[in-house]
């Protein structure tokens, strides 16, 4: 079981449940030295290393190997899963897996930040139509 830090579409509990196949507990967290940017032509963000930056997100606790496998499939080739330290609101640091945008695809990243509020108001329904066939992922054998 691992912790997973999310900073984009997976902050929506319904999307996280559909993709991972579980309804994990979550809490607010901050990731230092990374910033989320818009991806050109998409409704989801890219997480890019940037000194001094801070990204707000959600930490999901006790994610099973099967749920993590499903998240890996969902995130695809653009992202690399990394283990990083995130800060909880009480200041404690915890280790968590998160998906960082791969340098090979940096040309797809916009120069403006991605907004969760904009996603909720405008992009979520488009995102769900395009990317949520994951409730039908086969179980790992």
pLDDT tens-place string over residues 6-25: 999 999 999 999 999 999 89
pLDDT > 90? residue 126 = no
Please, what is the average pLDDT of the chain? Answer: 92
Domain coordinates in residue numbering, the chain: 2-136
Token pair of 51 as six digits: 């000194």
Fold of 2-136: Hypothetical upf0131 protein ytfp (3.10.490)
pLDDT > 70? residue 85 = yes
**Is 80 in contact with 50 (CB distance < 8 Å)?**
no
**Is 15 in contact with 128 (CB distance < 8 Å)?**
yes
User: Alpha-carbon torsion 46, 97, 23, 92, what sign?
Assistant: negative
Q: What ranges make up the beta strands (E) of the chain?
A: 2-6, 26-39, 45-63, 79-88, 93-101, 109-113
| pTM strictly above 0.75 | yes
Q: What is the pLDDT of residue 132?
A: 66
CA 28 to mean position of chain CA atoms: 13
**Is 101 in contact with 109 (CB distance < 8 Å)?**
yes
Q: How many whole angstroms separate alpha carbon 86 and alpha carbon 97?
A: 10
């Amino acid at each position: 079981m691992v912790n997973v830090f999310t900073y984009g579409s997976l902050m929506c509990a319904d999307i996280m449940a559909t993709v991972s196949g579980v309804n994990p507990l979550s809490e607010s967290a901050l990731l230092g030295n990374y910033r989320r940017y818009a991806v050109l032509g998409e409704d989801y963000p890219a997480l890019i290393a940037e000194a001094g930056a801070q990204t707000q997100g959600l930490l999901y606790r006790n994610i099973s190997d099967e749920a993590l496998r499903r998240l890996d499939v969902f995130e695809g080739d653009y992202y690399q899963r990394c283990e990083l330290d995130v800060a909880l609101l009480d200041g404690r640091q915890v280790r968590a897996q998160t998906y960082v945008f791969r340098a090979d695809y940096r040309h797809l990243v916009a120069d403006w930040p991605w907004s969760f509020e904009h996603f909720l108001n405008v992009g979520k329904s488009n995102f769900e139509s395009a990317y949520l066939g994951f409730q039908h992922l086969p179980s790992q054998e």
